[in-house]
Structure formats: C-alpha cells, structure tokens
Chain A
C-alpha cells in the first residue's frame, strides 16, 4: 500500500531507511550545499509550479505548503487531480533524469516554497563536488528502480 494512505507517524520515525527517502544518510551540511546550488522559489495558491508539457529539466523539493498533481485525462485532456503533495516531497525527478516533457501540472493549493535544482545547476554542483552529484544520481536512480519494482509487483498482482 502506498505510504500516503497509512503514514503512521511512529513508523516514519523508526524506519529511517525507508526505501523512498532520498539520501537518508546525508548530513545536514551536504543538504546546505545542495540548497546553495539550487534556487528557492515561492508560490501562491493557484500558481502552476510545473506545467504539463514543459521541458525544463529540474527536480524540486517542497519546503513549505501543499500542491496538487494534475494529469490530463480523457479525450478533452482536462486536468484532473490525482494526488496532493506537501513539504518534504521530491517532485519532478523523472523529467530531471530523462529530459522528457512534464507529464503533469503541479499547482499550488496553498502558498509555500520549494527548492529547485535544474540540470544546469546540477552540472555546476557536479563540477565542484562530484561526490555529492554522484550520491544524488545514484540515489535518484535507486529510488526509480524501487518504484519500478513496486509497479511491476503491482501489475503482477492485480492486472489479470
């Protein structure tokens, strides 16, 4: 089951090695360096932080506030909310890795802030601190692989 339905608080704490946590063992100073290389964006309720079809290659970490993920559905391609997401979530990492157009629009439900790390900023980070960049890439790839496994399991289980 997805954690988001039964996110029991005690488990969140006793499971630091949760397989979808990005860089669980990174000390704070490394995060501070990442922040230095990224951009902090503010958003207001209703702002589109990511637009479906955009081609910018960045990933984001939500610092404050809540956003909804909208995906075009049906033949009218009307945007429908599939999920909400809030502080602490990493979003957009797939387009960051594959450079493909964004598959969803992410719209702010509240005001808030997020950290944006673009491919360009990442390049700069990688040149200065190859170790950090390698950590990030490896971990993003690991998480992607975990998700793929989950998806495969799910399909094997429920798609007759």
Chain B
C-alpha cells in the first residue's frame, strides 16, 4: 500500500485519518482479539486450577506491564483488550441493542468506574493478590460486565469508555501516546462517547479538561489528583494483617486526601494551566508505580535481585516520562489555538455534491501567469471574461478584437483556443505583436492553455512587408487630422503601403491613442489613464509618423494644399485624411453651461467628472439618454457610489440594440443593481444655484441631481469640412473609396457619412481608415459595409446586438428564445433564408457562430427547427 496520494495528517488527526495512513490491516487486529480472549479464559482457568502460578502470571507479570502499555502505545491495548473484544462482539455480530446511554450514565459511569478501580486496586493488598478464586471471579465478572454493556449500549459506551475501571487510568496515561495505533473497533463510529479517546487520541484528554461542563472536567481532575497518593499508599502501606482493614482503607483515604490537597494547592497558586498540573501528577503517579514495581517485577521474571537493572529501568521510565511531559505540554498551545480558532463554516453534503458536479462539465484549465491562477472554465468562454471574473489586471474595450486593449501572450495551448480572425490579426499587427500574442476577448477556450499577462513576453511581429505594395511616388506628404482610432489606423496603413512619404498626424487631445470605448472606467476606477493607452510610446517613431499631440488643426487651405495648425504652423499635404471623429450631441436645454453638466466623449470628460464628484461630494446623478453610452456612464457613476437615474425618451432602453422584450430583461438587471430607470422622459433643462441641482423633464417631473450626464448621441466633427465647401449631411459625405468630393481629401470614422449612415462605431472607423489609407497612398481599395456589432460594457450583462432585429416586411422571419430563470433572451431576424441580425442577452457562447453565419450569408433554412428549439450551436456545422 502506498500512502503518497493521501493528504498529510492534520495536527490532531482522528482515527479514520490515522487508519488511512496505517499499514496494519484490521483483520490482524481481529485475530489478535481472538487470541487475547482465549488467553484470558485460559488465565481464569489457571487462576482457579493452579492459583499459585495464575496469581504470579496475572498480578506480578502481566498487570505491571499495563501502565507502560497505556503510556507508550495505548491504542495497542484499546485494540486487543479482551474485555473490549467481548464488549464489541454484539456490535460485530449485530445483536447489540445499540441504546444511547442515558444522561446520568454518561455523566456518572466514569465516576463509578474510578471508584471501582480504587476499590479493587486497594483490595489487592488483602484479597486479590493472594486469592486465585477472587481474582478469577474479578476477571470473569469484568468480562461479563463488558459483554452485557455491549449488548445494551451502542459503541463502547456500555463499558470501554464508561464503566471500565481501567478506563480512568488509561485516560491519564494515554494523553500523549508515543506510538499512536488507530482504533480498529469502530467501523463506523456511532458517536457513543463524548471526547472519545478512540476517535481522536491526541486531544481527547485535553478536550476533557477544557470541556464546557465544569462537572465533567472536574471528575477527571479529581481522579488524577488522587492518583499519585493512591499509588504511593498502595506501595507504602503495610499489607493486612499487619494493618486492620479499616486502617488500611483509612490510610488510602489519607494519602488520597493529601494528594488532592497538593493538587488544588498547586492549581490555585501556580500560574500555569490545569493541564500542566494534571500532566505532572500523571508523571508522578507513573514513576511512583514503577519505582516500586520494577524491582519486584524483575525479581519475578529472573528470580534474582538486580540493582543495575532496576536502576536502569527506573531511569528509562524517568526519561520516557520527561519526553512524554514535554510533548504533553507542547501540544496544549496548538490545541488551544485550534479551539479558539474561529470554527469552520461548511456547506451541506448535498451542496457539496452540486459543487463537485459543476466541475465535471468538461471544463478546461486556464492558467494565468505570473499569478499562477488556475481557472476551470466552461468551453467557449473567452479568456477576457475569465480574467475579469477573477479580478486579473486586464483592460477591455470593444470585446471584439478591434481595439487592442487586452493583448495576452499564450505560453502553451494555442491550439486550444478559437482561431484568430482577420480583425484580431490586424489589431495584433497594429500593436506590433507576433505569433504568440492574442486578444483575450477573441480567445474562446477549448482546452488547457497557459497565459501570461506580461505583454513583454510576446514575440515581436514580423516586419511589415510593404515592398510590393503599389504606391505613388509623387505623394510626398500625407496629413491626417485626428489621433483617434481612425487617424492612427490610417497612418499605420499609409505607412504599410507607402514606405517613403512623410506622415503627419494631428491630434487635439493630449494623449497618444487611447481606448475611447473604455473611458467610463476613468469615472469609477482608481488607475486613471494607466492601462488605457493602446500602443507603446515608440509606436509612432517606429513607423516614422510625426505626431502632433495637444495640437488643433485650425483650417484647411485646399487651394494651397496645407493644413494650418492653431499654433500657426502650416503642414502641406498631397493627401489629406480627415479622421476628426465626433463630439457629443448637446440638445438645446435650459441651464446649459451650469457646472455639473457633463458629456462623455474624451478621457478628459470622464476624469473631470470624477474630480467634480469628489469636489462637490456628489450623491445623485441623472443620465439623460438610455443608449449604450448613457448606460455605461450610469453604471460607472453607480460604481462610484452615486444614486443613478437614467432618463430615456422612448419607451425602452437601448432602442438601437434591443427590442422591447430584451429591454425588459436588461431593465430588470439594472434596477436590481439599484439604478433607477425612467422611460418616456424628455429632458427640458437644469436649474440650480451656481451648479446643476435639479433636472426638469418636459412633462414637469423633476429630479434632484448633483451631476447630469447628457448622452444624447454624437455629432460628427464637420467644422473643417465646412470650410472646404465639401458636401455635408450629418457627416462628411464619402464614396466607397472614402474619398470626399475633393480627390485628394478623404474622411473616415465618426466624421464620415457613407451610404447615408454615420454608425459611430470603432470597427467602422478601422475599416474605413484602412481603405482611405490605401487609396491615399496611391492604391485602390473599396469599402464594404460591415454589419454593425455592438456590446454593452456593463458587468453582469452579456449583451451583443448585431445588425437589424425588427422585421421590415412580412416575409422576414423572427425567432426568439427566452429563459427567464436563466436571464437569457435570444432573437434572430431572418430575411430570405439568411440571418441578418441578432440579439443575445446572457448567452455569449452563441455569438461567434451566429456572427460568422451572418458574415458569410449562410442559408439557414435547413436549420430553422433547431433554431426555434434554441439549439443554435447547430449553426457550427454550417460554417
């Protein structure tokens, strides 16, 4: 048997734990018990038939060994004691009544047991030592008593751990076994005895001393207190007839009284725990016993006196006692620590089973380094979700592989992640990250992986191969206005396609490219801009891009082809890309301009809001606008600890991402978080003394507020284009080459309007910027509209909305599947057999496959039944 797989033993192991570590088979103990019962019967026979020999064998040879056995390996005796064997026979053969001992028995059987012990042991001096019949009857009586106890009471409560006269002696000597042999009787334990020695040998005696019931522990103290006096009396009082019986018992009484007196004196005056004194008394009793009995025992064994052996053995007993005492004292501290330790909270067996079963669902282990955190994740969960669920330091933005907020390094198991998509690859390329890097939001786990969050561990990307790109050498200078994702992507792609031209990138904000989508984190988070930057500082230099931060492009002079900076400098261009993005739309409201009114567009907006909340100890926030931005801002303020009300003009939240039913699910959650959602609420204005204090609605309702956030949509930045006389609707109108009416001027991202739409989405800006850059460098690229995918970035809501979700004709088909208990809602819009849009609330694992089906325009007609049944993973076979 090897024990290597076993957990190490706790400080005070119980017998089942000890048994697991024991090498002695239970069957061997049973065999030994048969032998010991047989030997006892023989002994009784011997005492009756041949009392002379029997008495010597029993009282002079065997009995003196018992204390030593109790002291060194008490478990040995508990396991092979013939009385215990008989006591347990009814249990083994199933004919015990198994009664639970009544209260009085539980309390007093120990007292009766030690009185019996004192009576019998003192009576040896005039009766048992010399009388074979009496001794034989004594043993036989004990056997019968033990057996009857076993017939009536459960476990060992009928004899071995109650009435047995040797039990009190065992309890004092067996406190700290030198050799622990686990209980081999109780299979299983039936809980028959309080602080059972057989159950937990290491602490049973301490547990007695520290029992809550003072009587219970005092009986035990009393016994140990009289014990040394009793032993001394036994060996020093003369045997009758030298003394009358009355004086003999009187003598015993006086010795014991003296002993108790000393004990209580010490207990009162010594500033040590009672355990120290009980252990000391045990040690004294033990040594006294052997001091006197060793010479006699040696004499019986060898038939001769041997001073040397006597002294040697006495010395050995003393040394052993020293060790025993030290060990007994040493364990009191850990014992006390343990019982003073807050007790353990547990779950029920049923709950534990549910937990165990939950781990069997084919989950895969994701290991995060350097944290050494191992998470078991359900298949298809993303690494980003896993990291967030475990509070690991990983940023997030788009959650669709396009922003670059969450790069990770795969140390092992790349093959166990969902394959890399084009969007993700181009983000990694922009970040300059090589083959072992991924975006966490795009890694769906299929098997074991180990991941480093230290992006320094990433391999560098292969150098950009631009040699064979088609570029126009007459283009010497490209100017890009706007250092957002549109501008930066444009600059990157101009450089990829044109190794020579000068590139100037002008950004009004103070920051290099940062994660605009995550700026609401600046409101509640404590790490300000750190982690929000999307590229290393060296990024612009490595691509020979001249970046002008904190610099505004003031005018464009199309005739002279230069951009005039607000600093007065002129930047000539051959090609110009306008990526000026958008700003927040501010509807006309009364009170506009009061401090406390905010929008959320730039990092600065969010940081100022946080500062304002602190400065004015703001308690209440009102958000005007129940769109994505409004909800994210509201959630951020909620996390900052403010009471938040969200005002939505229409009848439900997220009109552009959700239908009414889906919105109900969302509303339930947000209200559950404690946010107040108000629909049909149109903002009229704000009033307040010196700062915003009350929000008014058009219908007359009012709301107290310290902060008002207006999230009413975006307004493309078109001022510069105005000067150029370009055609402008909402945004700057562009063709499929992202070209404005001026052939050398392009517009992309939030500033541009294509096909009648300004979607205002990050991936759109990225795609458009790539197209504009290639064309600006002299190539030829065409923009294909992408199906817009949006996600709500509020913890606890897994919402993805793709394309359209309301049918426009009768032919279009809608499939919805909902599970209220699981907070899941899914919807598909199918037009001419193809999915054109979808909503996912609470079921993130279906998103990738449906997205793929939409992208590839797969005909899903064959799968309609499965889709209606909610089995959307069937689509995996279609792509």
Contact = CB atoms under 8 A, between A and B. Distances in A.
Interface of A: 1-11, 16, 18, 20-24, 26, 28, 31-32, 35, 39-44, 47, 56, 61, 63-66, 81-91, 93-94, 109-110, 113, 115-116, 118, 120-121, 123-124, 126-128, 130, 140, 143, 147, 150-151, 153-154, 157-158
Given A43-B374, A63-B356, A86-B7, A4 B344 contact: yes
24 contacts: A3-B344, A4-B343, A6-B207, A16-B348, A23-B351, A31-B354, A40-B376, A41-B374, A42-B375, A43-B374, A61-B351, A64-B356, A66-B7, A86-B7, A89-B345, A90-B347, A91-B344, A120-B391, A127-B672, A128-B668, A128-B823, A150-B343, A153-B212, A157-B212
Contacts of B354: 28, 31-32, 35
Among B12, B340, B343, B376, which residue has the most Cβ atoms of chain A within 10 A?
A: B343
B526 interface: no
B7 A9 contact: no
A58 B625 CA distance: 34
B393 interface: no
Contact of A20 (B334, B344, B376, B391): B344
B375 A41 contact: yes
Contacts of B375: 39-42
A5 B391 contact: no
Given A2-B343, A20-B346, A147-B343, A39 B389 contact: yes
Contacts of B211: 1
B350 A28 contact: yes
Given A40-B375, A121-B389, A124-B796, 16 more contacts: A4-B344, A6-B207, A11-B191, A18-B346, A20-B344, A23-B347, A23-B348, A35-B354, A42-B375, A56-B391, A82-B338, A82-B341, A89-B345, A127-B674, A128-B672, A154-B340
B352 interface: yes
B347 A21 contact: yes
B20 interface: no
B396 interface: no
Contacts of A130: 672
Interface of B: 7-8, 10-12, 14, 188-191, 194-196, 199-200, 203, 207, 210-212, 334, 337-356, 358-359, 363, 365, 372-377, 386, 389-391, 668-670, 672-674, 795-796, 823
A44 to B, nearest CB: 7
The dominant DSSP class at the A interface is mixed
B190 A8 contact: yes
B203 A5 contact: yes
Given A22-B346, A41-B375, A5 B351 contact: no
Contacts of B207: 1, 5-6
Contacts, number: 193
Nearest to A153: B212
A27 B432 CA distance: 52
B363 A89 contact: no
Nearest to B355: A63
Given A4-B343, A20-B343, A120-B391, A61 B355 contact: yes
Contacts of A81: 11
A61 B12 CA distance: 23
A33 B372 CA distance: 27
Among B345, B365, B372, which residue has the most Cβ atoms of chain A within 10 A?
A: B345
A26 B680 CA distance: 41
A128 B354 CA distance: 21
Nearest to B350: A28
A31 B355 contact: yes
A130 B630 CA distance: 25
A120 B795 contact: yes
A6 B345 contact: no
A41 B373 contact: yes
A113 B376 contact: yes
A63 B343 contact: no
A1 B358 CA distance: 33
A126 B7 contact: no
B782 to A, nearest CB: 44
Contact of B345 (A1, A82, A93, A121): A93
Among A7, A85, A140, which residue has the most Cβ atoms of chain B within 10 A?
A: A7
Nearest to A148: B342
A31 B376 contact: no
Contacts of A35: 354-355, 358
A128 B191 contact: no
A84 to B, nearest CB: 4
Nearest to A4: B344
B339 A2 contact: yes
B339 A118 contact: no
Nearest to B344: A89
A56 to B, nearest CB: 6
B358 A32 contact: yes
Contacts of B673: 123, 126-127
A22 B354 CA distance: 14
Nearest to A87: B352
A143 B345 contact: yes
A153 B210 CA distance: 13
Given A32-B358, A109-B8, A123-B796, A24 B348 contact: yes
Nearest to A47: B372
